[in-house]
Structure 1
């Protein structure tokens, strides 16, 4: 569905900050979570709720959350999971809790950012027009972080050189998503369902943003609302940066191509040849990352293992996408 064929967004009432839930996923990074929660305590206006999903941390995360509860100035819901479900499982659970709280808007973020004090007001001004919104963020060094907001749909890969500049409108349409700052309305969540925990990590937010963009006009806006608080090793290519990775990321970035394929099939968007090219380009990019950023060739086995395990997922004819929440509610009645 293209933008011109989508129905216009419904008329909105005045934005109410109390209708927002910030959903945070954390795992063994209490020092970073501390900074994020302290920044929420300084927000004006504040959200109605803050949900912290703890992916079975073994550090002092629980103690930190309880110590900072009163400083937030808003209701805090803390859920410590029994096992580490990855970012995918954490955000799925965080959105589920936010949805069940009755939140109109859900603002997702990792624990390695802090919120600009008036960030909620900056996001709120766009809510009368859009239902899927991505704000901008500063990188660790204070520079503007460039996020790849467009994907080449047939290949299911980000377009690394999509224009970074904004025109006078202050927004650009996107067909992707990033859980580090995704701001989404419950109507969209109801229709496309919760984020898919089966991804564990990687490609989950791109897929979720793509699904949202198929039913609403999704945008990235020229408002800085977050600041990254963790320094990541990078290689500077002059125009763009490439971040360091890990063996886990290498495995899941290749394995989860199979989940993208399954979602594309379910939505009638799968084209075998372009998608295969996208997978090959993804593999090439990860090999370049190993050599230029990690300065090693070790790690290739994790890429190969991810491709191998992905073939099993792609061949599973019983696989189904996450259901709309409306369907889930009806089936439970």
Structure 2
């Protein structure tokens, strides 16, 4: 039976208190990048009430780096080291869980390869009385404005690459997607849609979570630069848009995880086989272009086919269910 849908609405909440916010970071074997992020948290004004770091079983000096900052950050540090690498999806699911159980009103998710603009939390908090699912803007590694595809074509289940980048005088644009590199979300929405789905491992997890949030509230991207990316990625410059290099693991999960999106779409009664299949085909073709134009190679297509094959197993799994809403009893 399809799940019910709620009409998104713009809501007004209490004035924003930085102490009620938690930054949740996921890291794996990138202590150098994590150091830059922690240094930026040290410079923040205002600071969040908590900083949660989820370590996906790093084998480098991540633990020592985290502990070296504990007394310097000016906020409560919670370090959660996992027993195995659960991917970005598992890490963000755990980070969200820890932040939620801490009683956080606002949860700000980010990877370890960004740094926070010193007044970034204040900029996000400015919008908190109006919205409950907010995405700020980012500078790219070279200081340029990073363009993020904030809307998806829902029937196809893929981002819209030509969604307008400019903002009008309102200072925000409605979105129906999400990105864990900066998602700022209210606990009320987390309670309703549950934790991020760790079964994705990597890729499509944040888009799907943002889509779920947009079904419960008016989700927006705001014209506020709050993060800077600190890792340079090989790109193909197409003028106003870029295409980043990928990896064999990403190629596999890009295709496999289309099956998880399909399961969510079926659960929420928005699945259209022909249109969604077209979205999967376009995704496959985009990855072929990425291989040739960005990575300058043709090897790697086997991972795309392997992902499609394993996705069929997910599609046939009779026990599969969406992530459940969080129990009201967990509310702090």
State the TM-score, normalized to the length of structure 1: 0.96
The separation in 1 between residues aligned to 2:330 and 2:254, in whole angstroms, is: 32
Aligned ranges 1:138-157 → 2 under 5 Å: 138-157=139-158
SS of residue paired to 1:70: coil
| Aligned: 1:69 with 2:54 | no
* CA distance in structure 1 between the partners assigned to 2:143 and 2:267 by the alignment: 41
In structure 2, the residue corresponding to 1:226 is in which secondary structure? strand
What are structure 1's unaligned runs of at least 5 residues?
none
Cα separation, partners in 2 of 1:327 and 1:199, compared to 1, 3 Å: farther
- The 5-angstrom pairing of residues 207-218 of structure 1 reads 207-218=208-219
Q: In the TM superposition, what are the counterparts of 1:1-333 in structure 2 within 5 Å?
A: 5-9=7-11, 11-326=12-327
Task: Kindly indicate whether the alpha-carbon contact (under 8 Å) linking 1:150 and 1:162 is maintained by their aligned counterparts in 2.
Answer: yes
**How far did residue 239 of structure 1 move?**
2.5
Task: For 2:110 and 2:131, locate their aligned partners in 1 and report how far apart those are by CA, in whole Å.
Answer: 19
Contact 2:15 2:129 in 1 (8 A): yes
Q: Give secondary structure in 2 for the equivalent of 1:71.
A: coil
> Hey, what's the Cα distance between the residues in 2 that align with 1:127 and 1:228?
23
The runs of 4+ residues in structure 1 deviating greater than 6 Å are: none
2:141 partner SS: coil
Displacement of 1:69: 1.1
Tell me the matched-pair count: 328
- The CA deviation at 1:6 is 3.4
Query: Which whole-Å CA distance do the structure 1 matches of 2:46 and 2:64 have between them?
Result: 26
In the TM superposition, residue 326 of structure 1 has moved relative to its aligned partner by 1.8
Note the C-alpha offset of 1:327: 6.8
**Secondary structure of 1:249 counterpart:** helix
C-alpha spacing 1:328/1:272, structure 2 compared with 1 (3 Å): farther
CA distance in 1, matches of 2:10, 2:35: 40
The answer (yes or no) to whether the contact 1:38–1:71 under 8 Å persists in 2 is no
Q: CA RMSD in A?
A: 1.4
1 or 2 for the larger relative contact order (CA 8 Å, sep ≥6)? 2
Deviation at 1:317, TM superposition (A): 2.1
When residues 89 and 215 of structure 1 are mapped into structure 2, their CA distance, relative to the original with a 3 A threshold, is same
Q: TM-score, normalised by structure 2?
A: 0.97
